[in-house]
Amino acid sequence: MAATTQAPAAPPGNAPPAWNLMALVRRSLADPANRLAWVGIAVCALLFKVLFDEVLSDFYYSWTTDENYSHGFLVPFIALYFADQAARRGPVATRGGIWLGGSMLVLGILMRLVRVALPVPFLGEVAFLLGLAGIFGLFFGTAALRRYWFPLSFLVFMVPLPVAIYSRLASPLQLLASQVASAVMNATGVPVLREGNHMTLPGGIQLFVAEACSGMRQLTGFLALTTAVAYLSSRPGWYRILIIGLGVPIALTANIARVLLTGYIMHFGGAEYALGTFHTAEGLLMMSFGLILLQLACWALDAVVVAGPPSGRPEDDASRQAQAGGNAPRLALSGTSSSIRQGLAVGGEWEGHR
């Protein structure tokens, strides 16, 4: 994470302060004028925790019992990383935010109260995120909300989908994976009889594309990864939207390739090599395959798109300044292909945690 420099260090008296999230918090806590505000933040956070304690329990239950959402524990830490990147721009003016932050907080609380009468965990979880953003805006202002909007928004990836929505998405993806996999295997000389999501291979070997193999995990992971890459990129807005959109076909391709690989292993090697640790290894391998596809797509796009002007985000602008001064920071983000190296921390840990 530290940037390597070849130029001699500037004199301590002229060197600008090295800002990060912890440095900003320590600076604010050291100012006596801010101590009352921090007391208010602590009290408000405690009351907020009490009000949303059941929602936090819902999060924990989903993350620990449903493998599709086991990545939820990682999302807050990844969001903190992005917040730390945003904090490198230095302090932000603390003004305004009372109306906007207060409105968001009130709306979140009202949604939480509706959740009491309407037993839909998703409603309470969205209310939690809205209230959290409201508290942040209320105490730190609208400028801080604009600065840290992405870390706050990234927390959406830790929210489990309602069961009805998840099932409506997963079922077609299961069928798509089994249809394409059986068609490819038949075309490559491995006869497969498909009945719905059931595939019968030679020798009576049965391969069932379960809901867990529908591709929803890959879809969630790659959408998080491409969203992070798009945010870190210095490219135009349409380019970033395209990068995010690439997450869908790449995730589906990677999942179909995983089903194909499983089928070939069961046919040529044996069913025992498609279970347990081997099955997990296949998932990691296909995650790498998906990352390669994303890298190739970004290389192709980078070849036809010229880098735009400074984006205003610290990681982009600092990279340009350092490169102009002869430095080569490890986290240079002058192109989207470079951004993927940071996004790998999201995708790799995401899949590994599953």
Is it the case that residue 135 has pLDDT exceeding 90?
yes
Query: Do 135 and 250 fall into the same domain?
Result: no
| 94 lies in some domain | yes
Query: Do 50 and 123 fall into the same domain?
Result: yes
Indicate the pLDDT class of residue 111, thresholds 50, 70 and 90: very high
Per the structure block, which two tokens stand in for 84?
């730390």
Is it the case that residue 68 has pLDDT exceeding 60?
yes
Domain end point (choices 135, 159, 183) = 159
Residue 353: its pLDDT value, please?
53
**φ, ψ for residue 312 (rounded to 5)?**
90, -10
Domain end point (choices 105, 133, 159) = 159
| 142 lies in some domain | yes
Residue 75: domain span? 21-159
Indicate the pLDDT class of residue 116, thresholds 50, 70 and 90: confident
Indicate the pLDDT class of residue 21, thresholds 50, 70 and 90: confident
DSSP 169-200: HHHHHHHHHHHHHHHHHHHTT---EEETTEEE
Per the structure block, which two tokens stand in for 190?
């491995």
Is it the case that residue 324 has pLDDT exceeding 90?
no
Per the structure block, which two tokens stand in for 205?
């070997």
Q: pTM of the predicted model, to two decimals?
A: 0.77
* Higher pLDDT among residues 94 and 105, named by residue: 105
Query: Do 193 and 125 fall into the same domain?
Result: no
| 33 lies in some domain | yes
Domain end point (choices 131, 159, 187) = 159
A 10 A CB-CB count for 295 gives 15
Indicate the pLDDT class of residue 76, thresholds 50, 70 and 90: very high
d(CA 35, CA 31): 7
Indicate the pLDDT class of residue 150, thresholds 50, 70 and 90: very high
Is it the case that residue 340 has pLDDT exceeding 90?
no
Is it the case that residue 163 has pLDDT exceeding 60?
yes
Number of domains in the chain: 2
Determine the straight-line distance between the first and last CA of the chain, rounded to whole angstroms.
25
